[in-house]
Structure formats: structure tokens, C-alpha cells
Amino acid sequence: MSTASLPSTAAEPTVPKNVRWVLLGVMLAMLLSMLDNMVVSTAMPTIVGDLGGLDHISWVVTAYTLITAVTTPVWGKFGDLFGRKPMYLASIAVFIAGSALCGAAQSMGELIAFRVVQGIGAGGIGAGAFALIGALVPPRERGKYQGMTASVMAIGTIGGPLLGGFVTGHFDWRWAFYINLPIGLVALVWLASKLHVPTKRIKAKIDWAGITLLTLSISAIVLAATWAGSTYAWGSWQILCLGVVAIAGLALFILVEKRVSEPLLPLSVFTGHRNYPLAMALTLAGGVVMFGAGLYLPLFQQSVQGASATNSGLLMLPMMIPVVIVSTIAGKVMSATGKYKIFPVLGTVFLTAGLGLLATMDAGTSFTLTGLYMVLVGIGLGFTMQMAGTIAQNSVSLRDMGAAMSSSNLFRTLGGSLGVAVFGSLFTRAVQADVPAGREVDPNALPAGAKDAYLTAVTSGTSHIFLTAAIVCALAFAAALFVVEVPLKKAGPPTPVEAPKNTAAATAN
């Protein structure tokens, strides 16, 4: 490996005195995009009742997540080229505009189209947030601020359904979108006045071929993940064609990225040091767990354990509170010692154990025992998710931070999409074996015998889901073992992320 593949030694900024106030604005924008999907999902029955278009309801979510995934790496690269502050402010402005349009939609078709605009802004918010943290805070100090990002994730997961239920219950459904306007404007003004990062415009050609090919590939992957097992069978020609398009598109994308002068996703971030692809594997596994557990844990507790649907957000507290606490503690320890490898190793162990125990649940499992299993999963996520981001940031140069962090966000989104798709197929197959109407059945409306069969099927389906997730996390544990411990500097340029045994070879080249 040549020295050219090591991170740049360009001076990295020291921590600004008001960095927490600056990051608070960044976190507010992140919260905006995270809350939105949860709030809208809760409001969807009311929206359909007003606008109609039940047969297109899935596209309200699919259009948003698809365009978010597609635009994430584009925003990240534009941030590298034209400055992170202007690109981040632009993404917030686009999100606000999309929210206003969604609230004014008069048909389901208009709503889906305006959700695309929202998704474009969300892609920039997700891509820019972690790149800004990387630009503002030296590697050694980043752990101190992990609690902030973990808190945003927890608030978004827990608060979204609660806020959505409150808004739709007390106001018109349009306020599920209009509520984004004041929050977004506050974040926009806040960051415009307080965010100061060096803006260095680079004259370079935009990699339009790379953008087109990656958009095509990601679209095929997300559509296959969304439709497989539900709209179309896994072995149908539609899904197989999407798979071919995804593989061919990715192959062509790699060829293009090797040849262009300013690639959309520099392949060097994946090949420069093994820590980066390993961090992406951890991020992918974390996305699978976050989305899968967030969807099917409340379903099990409501259907089998008889919990109230109105408390769906509160049901996640045993999992989300440990995420905030553990990630904050791990971040402080990392900042004090410069060590971090132990955390993803421990995290994947906790995840595997917690998910394995969740797979053993049945109708007789108490809320207390379920909560204890969820605590283990929360501890695992707290050790793994934010630390994977730190490992990724410390594995690339400041020059490529935007592209690297946007691809990290992309892997998290894809992990969630693929996880939900596979889990949905497993659940549907288990439930439909006994109750053809599966997830749409109200168990309380069934006669005693049919209700027992339904609850048994739901238990079997969720057991398969959590067992599959446990296997994914066991593979992530193997990835964590191969992470190279690279000391984090307190200030100045990033530490060259080369394994000690390869240093001589690197110098020789």
C-alpha cells in the first residue's frame, strides 16, 4: 500500500470553544429528518382517509427512503467540493420546502411527489451531519459528543410515534408536515450564524456518470428490498431483474470511479485501510437491528403481550435509554484513552446475546423479561453504532470526509431496508401459514381457537426475525475482531490509519 492512500496530513481544526452550541444546531436538523418518517407513518391512516389512494400508500414511505438513499452520497461529495456549510444549509432548506409542499398536498400523487423533495433534503442532512462533526472535532475528542447523536437517535425513534399520534389526534394531519417548518427554520438560522468551517471550493468536474450509475443501483436495491416478499415473490422475474440491474450498475460504477478525476465515492476510502469496510459492516448490522427491532418488537408486544398501540414509542424505552447512556460512557472512555476496538467487540456480543434471547420469547414471556432482553440490545447498539462512525472517520482523510460519511449513512439506510425486507418475508411466511390475512388481523376479533393459532404464528415469525438478526450480529462480531486499533490524536492531523506491521512496506513503496 502506498503512502498516497493514507489520510491527508492537512491540518485538522482544533475544537471551537462553542462547538456544543454549533453541534446542537446540527443535531436539531438530524432530529428533524429522523422524526419525520416516524411521525408520518403514525399519521398515514388519517392521511389515507382524507386523500384516498390506499393502493399507493407504500410509496409515501418508499419514495422518501429511496430518494434519501440515492442522494446521500451526492450531497456528501458536493460538500467535499463546494463546502460543507453551504451544502448543509441547502439541504435543510430543501427539506423545509418539501415539508411545506407535503402539508399542502391535495392528492396522494402530489404527496408522493412532494415526499421526493423532502427525501432529497433528508439525504443532505444525513450526509452532512457526521461530516461536519468530523470537520469540527479532532478524532480523540469525538467520543465526548457521541451522547448527542445517540440522544437524537433515541428521541427520533421514541418520540416520532408519540408526536405523530398527538398531532393527528389533536390537529389536522397536515401538521405532521407543517411542524417541520418552525424547527427547520430555527436550525437553519442557528447554523447560518454559528457554524464556521473552512470553505474551500475545488474546481473539478462533477462525476455525473457515477451519480447516474449509483442512483440506478441503489434504486434497484431499495426497490427489491421493498417489494420482495410482499408485492412480488423473491424469485419473481421483477425481483430478479432488479437484482441484475443492481449488480451490473455497481460493476459499471466501480469501473467509472477508477477512471474519473473526482469520483463520487473515492474507492480509496474502501481500499485505503481495512478499518473502513469493517466499520461499514458494523454500520450495516446496526441498521438491520435498529429498523428490524423498531418495527417488530412493538408488534410482538401489542399482538402477543397485549400492550396498547398508543404506547408504541414507550415500549422502546428499555432499548433506547441504554443506547444513550452506554454510547456516552464509551465516548468519554475513548476520549480519555484513545482506545476504541473493545467497544464494537463488546457491542456485537451484547447484540448477539440480546437478539438470541428475544428469539426465545413466547406468549408466556413477561414485559419485564422482554425489557431485560431489550436492555442487552440497547447496550450493544450503544457500544457499536456511534463507535463504527468514529472508526470510519478515523480511517479517511479530511478531504474525503463528506464522501466517507455519506457512504456510512448509505450503508445504515440499506441495512435497514434489507433487514425490513427479509424480516417482512420471514414474518409473512410464518403468519400466513396459519392465518392468510397475516399482519392485518385484529387478534381480539378472532374466536379463541383462531386467536391462539394467530398468536402462535406471530411468535414464530418474530422468533425467526430475531434469530436471523442474531446471526447477522455474530458475523459483525467477526468483523469487529479484525478492526485495527489506531490511536486517536487529541488535535492536529489525523493519525495515519495504517496497521503497524504494514508501516515499513508503506514507506518502502
Highest mean pLDDT among 36-40, 147-151, 170-174, 311-315: 170-174
Q: What is the average pLDDT across 360-378?
A: 90
Query: Nine-digit cell at 289?
Result: 437491528
* 8 Å CB contact between 413 and 65: yes
- pLDDT of 230 strictly over 90: no
- 398, 424, 426: which is closest to 496 by C-alpha? 398
List Cβ<8 Å contacts ≥24 apart for 97-100.
Answer: 97/121, 99/36, 99/177, 99/178, 99/180, 99/181, 99/184, 100/177, 100/178, 100/181
Entry pTM: 0.71
Residue 129, C-beta contacts closer than 8 angstroms, at least 6 positions apart: 26, 27, 29, 30, 88, 149
d(CA 221, CA 415): 11
pLDDT tier for residue 57 given thresholds of 50, 70 and 90: low
Q: 396: which DSSP letter? A: S
pLDDT tier for residue 245 given thresholds of 50, 70 and 90: very high
- pLDDT of 114 strictly over 70: yes
Percent of the chain with pLDDT over 90: 17
- 37, 281, 28: which is closest to 132 by C-alpha? 28
Model pLDDT for residues 414-431, shown as the tens digit of each residue: 777 677 667 777 777 777
pLDDT tier for residue 400 given thresholds of 50, 70 and 90: low
- pLDDT of 91 strictly over 90: yes
Q: How many of the other CB atoms lie within 10 Å of CB of 27?
A: 20
Beta bridge partners, 232, equal 228
Q: pLDDT at position 346, please?
A: 94
- pLDDT of 11 strictly over 60: no
Q: pLDDT at position 339, please?
A: 82
Q: How far is CA 202 from CA 77, 78, 257, 371, 420, in A?
A: 11, 10, 18, 51, 39
Q: 14: which DSSP letter? A: P
Q: How many of the other CB atoms lie within 10 Å of CB of 423?
A: 24
Q: pLDDT at position 373, please?
A: 94
Q: 262: which DSSP letter? A: S
Q: pLDDT at position 374, please?
A: 92
Q: pLDDT at position 503, please?
A: 38
Q: How many of the other CB atoms lie within 10 Å of CB of 230?
A: 12
Name the amino acid, one letter, at 272. G
Which of 75 and 377 is assigned the larger pLDDT?
A: 377
Burial of 307 (0-12, 13-18, 19+ CB in 10 A): middle
d(CA 505, CA 509): 6
Model pLDDT for residues 191-211, shown as the tens digit of each residue: 888 887 765 555 557 788 888
Q: pLDDT at position 203, please?
A: 59
Q: What is the average pLDDT across 365-393?
A: 87
* 8 Å CB contact between 401 and 80: yes
Q: pLDDT at position 504, please?
A: 38
Mean pLDDT of the chain: 77
Backbone angles phi, psi at 173, to 5 degrees: -60, -25
Q: pLDDT at position 414, please?
A: 73
Q: What is the average pLDDT across 356-365?
A: 90
Model pLDDT for residues 469-490, shown as the tens digit of each residue: 999 999 999 999 998 887 665 5
Indicate the length of the chain as a whole number: 509
Q: pLDDT at position 9, please?
A: 37
Query: Nine-digit cell at 417?
Result: 431496508
d(CA 200, CA 150): 30
Beta bridge partners, 228, equal 232
